[in-house]
Structure 1
Amino acid sequence: MKKSNSTSLGLKVTYPKRRDAIVKKATELSVLCGTDVSLILFSPKGKLTSFATHGRFVLPWDPSCIYSFFVSFFCHALFWCWMIHC
């Protein structure tokens, strides 16, 4: 199913507002919980935007590295959750 032009245009127009709102909420969450927060967002055109509190998040910009980055991150996160619950 192909998106209509009006829907596609609407997404392009509202994306900057939604992105800014999400970044604001991530910043608030970081301050309230005292933790680091990282975001990875893709625009309707597929443009990558990353955000991190305290500038600690570094995303590899080489597309071939992004997959291995996510795999290692999620494997580590799943292992950590498993260790907590065992």
Structure 2
Amino acid sequence: MTPAVTGSAQLKLTIEALMNLQIAAPLDSEETRRIQDFIVQRSSPLDELLDKAMSVTRVLKERRSALFMVCRPPLFSCAYA
């Protein structure tokens, strides 16, 4: 049994190979809960940093917009020489 078809630059995964894949999964609900708790614990600080970064980005965009409105040169001059 061949897991992949050859004959081209890219290997092609076959249905047969997919059906024979072994995927690790938690055996019981307690292990699942511990894994979930670990992921939440590790991702919480990242979520806080992301929220902070998004807030700073929003403020910087507002400031950039305000500066553009104040510093933009006029399109037409009404002064006559």
Same fold at TM > 0.5: no
Shorter-chain TM band: 0.3 to 0.5
Computing the radius of gyration over CA atoms, which structure comes out larger, 1 or 2?
Answer: 2
TM-score of the two chains, using structure 1 as the length reference: 0.31
So what's the TM-score if we normalise by structure 2? 0.33
Q: Which has the higher contact order (CA 8 A, sep 6+)?
A: 1
